Amino acid sequence: MTRRRSSFPSSLLPDAVDFRHNLGMVPGPAWQSPDVLARPGAFPGPDTAAGGRTAYSTSKLAAIHLVHEYARRLPAGIDAVAFDPGFVPGTGLARNAGPVSRFVIRRVLPVMTLTPFATRPGAAGRHLAAVNRSVSGSAPERDTRSGGY
């Protein structure tokens, strides 16, 4: 039987809310019930960078919950896995940030792709493709079992 796989972008952000893991740029998630999170105004200061970043980290936590639920509900042969591309500068994520943040994000952070602390967009895409091609549980460096992260 051919296995099918769906992968969902996620992140370690829900677990890494300290300065060492995210340079203080992203606050921790603010979990609420999904029906509340799906509505506009679910976070304080929705028009602020802090509100947007809280929504972002909460969406990553929601993706992990979604993967676990899909893994529980999907029939055998269909896998659902969470994928964390790591820190990927150059994706336009902060395009609406303030001018100082935009400068740092556009001009300084891309240099980090020369270090092990960041990933280029193309490399992140290749990693995602590798996760989708792997057989459930076959990639020892990743938890590719259904419901894995």
For residues 45 and 60, what is the distance between their CA atoms, to the nearest angstrom?
19
Do 43 and 55 contact (CB within 8 A), yes or no?
A: yes
The DSSP secondary-structure symbol of 132 reads H
Q: Which tokens go with 11?
A: 């992140």
* Contacts with 31 (C-beta within 8 Å, 6 or more apart), sequence order: 37, 58, 61
pLDDT of residue 19: 55
pLDDT of residue 144: 55
pTM beyond 0.85: the answer is no
Q: Which tokens go with 49?
A: 């960078």
pLDDT of residue 52: 83
Q: Which tokens go with 128?
A: 């995602």
Which residues in the chain land under pLDDT 70? 1-3, 11-24, 135-149
pLDDT of residue 147: 60
Q: Is 50 left (phi over 0), alpha (psi -120 to 50) or beta?
A: alpha
